[in-house]
Amino acid sequence: MIENINIGIDLGGSHVAVGAVDKNGKILEQFEKDFTVAEKRNLLNVSIKYIVETIEHLKKKYSFHKIGLGVAGTISNGIIVRSVNLGIENFDIKTELETKTDLEVMVKNDAKCEAIAEYLFGNFDRFRDREKKYQNVLFLTLGTGIGGSYIYQGKLMEGTIFEGFEFGHMMIKENGLPCKCGKKGCFEKYGSILAFKTKVIEKLNLSHDIPGQELRKKIDDSREEIKDIVEEYINDLAIGISNLVNILEPDCIIIGGGFARYDYLLLDGLKEKMVHSNLLFNLRKEILMKTASLGNDAGIIGASNLE
């Protein structure tokens, strides 16, 4: 039986992942399930069943007494108050999982979990010098939706009523696309990686259940054909991020979530757009922006370190 490990779970609108994580933030073993279109209609039950079965499997190999869970949406005292991309409101997932696993469960917004992981275990050496430079860090999670968090002077900022920092639901287009939250023109309808993938899938006439690796291969083979989609996506993403930069003036920007798997196609163009378009109030010669060094695993690692 392996001891001194934590369990982290990342639950989003497109997948659920469960991992055993050591004290240094290294994932020892990981299990992941991508939801089919049909499963997304019953996402909560499918997710809980998968989590419970995976935890029971991990109990045979590891010794642990609690679970950390990162979930997309507004979380309060273990309750998913509202998660528009999961279609959940006022659900006590903490009690549900504690009852079914006989373990203590800690729950937090998934973007906050990713920020915790990157700050604890990511490549932040350049952000931690003796003069305390680069202590103001903007985190964005681009996946099914857009999650966010902000570290100010080395501390994770959170609201007192709700966790806050729902960057995905600021409006970037008046009377734009309808969002599941009930508004129109929300940032995540244009800047989430799902928004990008959906346009590519429809342009190339592919199945919405296509595996990510296969989709990336199709993208690589169709660069010229989807050039307009890439440019439009980068433009919309730059508008949303520039709004945040103008308000928060972060020292650096870290982007995680599914975006990490497409950064080779999008990141350089995004930086170029941010710097050389008339989007930033305080102009910069360069902008420090990088993909989360822990990639799409940051949610699991951060969740495993919840207390």
Question: Is 56 in the same domain as 9?
Answer: yes
Domain that holds residue 57: 5-114+298-304
Question: Is 95 in the same domain as 147?
Answer: no
Asked if residue 151 belongs to a domain, the reply is yes
pLDDT at 124: 53
Q: What is the pLDDT along the chain (307 residues), one digit of tens a residue?
A: 788 899 999 998 888 999 999 999 999 999 999 898 899 889 999 999 999 999 999 999 999 989 999 998 889 899 999 898 788 999 999 999 999 999 999 999 988 898 889 888 886 544 444 444 578 899 998 988 898 899 888 888 888 777 788 899 999 999 999 998 999 999 999 999 999 999 999 999 999 989 888 999 999 999 999 999 999 999 999 999 999 999 999 998 999 888 988 999 999 999 999 999 999 999 888 888 988 888 778 899 999 999 8
Tell me how many domains the chain contains.
2
pLDDT at 122: 80
pLDDT at 158: 83
Question: Is 102 in the same domain as 144?
Answer: no
pLDDT at 123: 65
pLDDT at 170: 94
* Token duo for residue 227: 């050039």
Asked if residue 55 belongs to a domain, the reply is yes
pLDDT at 126: 46
Asked if residue 119 belongs to a domain, the reply is no
Q: How would you classify the pairing of strands 289-291 and 252-256? A: parallel
Asked if residue 199 belongs to a domain, the reply is yes
pLDDT at 53: 97
pLDDT at 273: 95
Residue at token pair 């998968």: 50
Handedness of CA 108, 112, 118, 124 (dihedral sign): negative
Question: Is 94 in the same domain as 136?
Answer: no
Question: Is 88 in the same domain as 132?
Answer: no
What are the start-end ranges of the H helices in the chain? 37-40, 43-59, 93-101, 110-121, 188-191, 193-203, 212-221, 227-248, 263-276, 298-304
Question: Is 287 in the same domain as 149?
Answer: yes
- Residue 152's contacts (CB-CB under 8 Å, 6 or more residues apart) are 135, 136
pLDDT at 196: 96
Question: Is 99 in the same domain as 177?
Answer: no
Helix and strand counts by DSSP (H, E) for the chain: 10, 13
pLDDT at 156: 85
Question: Is 100 in the same domain as 171?
Answer: no
CATH number for the domain spanning 169: value is 3.30.420.40
* Token duo for residue 107: 């729950």
Asked if residue 120 belongs to a domain, the reply is no
Question: Is 271 in the same domain as 133?
Answer: yes
pLDDT at 303: 96
Asked if residue 202 belongs to a domain, the reply is yes
Question: Is 43 in the same domain as 175?
Answer: no
Question: Is 28 in the same domain as 108?
Answer: yes
Asked if residue 184 belongs to a domain, the reply is yes
Asked if residue 193 belongs to a domain, the reply is yes
Q: Sort 290 into a burial class: Cβ within 10 Å, 0-12 / 13-18 / 19+.
A: middle
- Helices 43-59 + 93-101 axis angle, to 10: 40
275/260 Cα distance (integer angstroms): 21
Question: Is 97 in the same domain as 135?
Answer: no
